Every structure is written in C-alpha cells, then in structure tokens.
Amino acid sequence: MLIIRPIRASDYDALHSIAIESGHGFTSLPVNEELLRSKIERAENSFNKKVKTPQDEGYLMVMEDTKTGEVVGTCGIEAAVGMEDAFYHYRLGTEVYHSEQISVRNEVETLTLCHDYTGAAELCTLFLKDRYRKGRNGRMLSRSRFLFLAQHKERFGHTVIAEMRGVSDDKGQSPFYEWLQKHFLGIDFVEADYLSGLGKKSFMGEMMPRSPVYVGMLPAKARRVIGEVHKNTKPALRLLEAEGFKFRNYVDIFDGGPTVECALTDIRAVQQSRLLTVKIGRMPHADTHYIFSNTSVAEYRAATAKLLVSHEHDEVILSPEIAKNLLVEAGDQIRVLSM
C-alpha cells in the first residue's frame, strides 16, 4: 500500500536519492546535505506549528510503500512565498507604439521582473521515482496536497501557484537562460539554479535587468521556449489544468517555464472533496477509486482504494489495515475525493 505522510529526519537518505534522480532544473531539491536537512527540519516544524495566518511554513511530504518501507516520491506546499526571501517572476506584457504621422502601430511583447505572487501558496517539489510512474500513483501524489489544502485552508495563501519546469537539455542548459548569462549574470544555468535552490538569491536583484526586456530582441531559440514546459513536466501540467489552474503570463526568470495559478477555493479537488465518518469493517464491493486522507496536520496521512461512497450517507467503511495506515479509528472523519 502507498501512503502519503509528512517527511521526517529519518527520510534524509531517501530525499537525497530523490534529489539526485530529479536532475538539473529541479530547483527545490538541490543535492546539498545542509539544505536538505534544513528542509526536513523546517517541514517538521511547520507540521507541528499552530498557525493563524500563513507565513514562511513549508509542508514537505513523502510517498511511502508500506510493504517495503521505501520512500518513492515527494511533494510539497509552501504556505506563502516571498515572505522571507524575494520571489521573482517575469511578467509577460505588451507595449503599444503608434504613430498617426506614419500610420504605424506596433505591439511589442515584454518581460518585466516582478514580485506579484508574494503571499501566494505554492505547490512544489513533486517527484516520483521512475519505476512507480504507473497507474494512479502520480495523480495520487499530486492530489494528496489538495486534500491537505481543503482541510487546512487557514494555513495557506488565498491564491495557489505552481512553477512548471521549463525547457532544458540533458546537460541542464536552458535556451532561455543563455542570453541572460551572456549579457547579465555571467554564470551558467546549473550554477544559478543551484544557488536559487540554496536560497542564495541576492544576486538576482543585483544582476537581473531592471527595465523591461523586449522579447523580440531575444534569440529565436530563447523566444520559442517562453511559457513552454519540460517534456517530463507535461503530465504534471495536465493534472493541474484539470484542477482549474491557468497560465496568467508569468514565467520563470531562469528557464522561461510557465507558472500556473488558481484561487484555493476554486481548485476542483478542494470543491469536490467531502468529509465522511469512518466505520471499520469488511469493505463492500466498489468500482470507484478514491483518494482519502485523515484530518490531522502533524500526523497527516493519505491513501487510495476503491470505496463505496454514497451521496445520501456521510459514512464510509474502511478495512482495519487501511484505518491503521491512515491513523484513524471508528467515528473519526476522513476527507475523500474521487480519482
């Protein structure tokens, strides 16, 4: 059985392995022991913290195979980005130039550095080991975060965003970044991405172009990848689009990948999930797969199974094994969502 749970200190080796396997461009998991241990500690503190308004909390979770005890994936939610460190994006916009004298009108696309998403919650750090990328596993890992958002809305910003990995090659080089490196930053994409993942972002404000950049003046190969996702990220983007996330013309400052957004309360999974009361016993035959979670924060658990759920009743039967793995007892509530 696969379960989603909060990360803990004993998961360091597994997280380090995932950081290596995720490769270049996966900014939120640099291969750095100090940073990874810090992320785990921060997550443990966040899950155990009493929160009235979201600040700099980070909720990092893992997918565990209960048969082997192996951690096979990870996913996370940032409560409110930009509260401690600057959170940069490029905003795609248009400038209009018009002259009646010569009867010419031009619309010029621009990229402007901004902090417009400060305070938004962020879906992040989604990665599943290759051999587990089958069936509903990826969908389970992604959607488990929506159940947590639905149950604990007060812990998160009202807007939820997700930065999608942009186009880069097998060596981690980004066509979009090449012009930035040449004219402004002077360091390669892998190093800049790594520094960003370490939280060392002061160089961005110091070296990034402060005036709008005219897209038409970029090399063609850089223009082509603005707003495009990495081939390995397309399934994750499709899942988010199905939940109501949309591209609003914000792109990553390094690889040009799109950022998508949705109001927390407008996310389809948040709207459609239900709270049901647990009964424990022999589970009846059912045809529909559900993802479900307990209502805890520090002891959050999520799993999937075929459940018999009725719109006329607010109860659901779980087997003793599932109830044990979910850390629930008869009479407790769980949040359920059809897969």
Task: Give the residue numbers marked as catalytic.
Answer: 230
Q: What residue type is 306 in one-letter code? A: K
Cβ atoms of 180 and 196 closer than 8 Å: no
Q: Which among 48, 3, 11 is positioned nearest to 144, based on CA atoms? A: 3
What sections of 112-188 are H helices per DSSP? 137-151, 175-180
Cβ atoms of 160 and 262 closer than 8 Å: yes
Per-residue exposure over 10-24, b if at least 16 CB sit within 10 Å of its own CB, e if not:
ebeebbbebbeebbb
Bridge-partner residues for 31, per DSSP? none
Residue 293: which H helix or E strand, with range? Answer: strand 289-293
Token pair, residue 235, equals: 């399934």
Angle (deg, nearest 10), helices 137-151 and 234-242: 40
CB atoms within 10 A of CB 27: 21
Cβ atoms of 128 and 141 closer than 8 Å: yes
Matching residue, tokens 């209009």: 96
Q: How far apart are CA 223 and CA 219, in angstroms?
A: 6
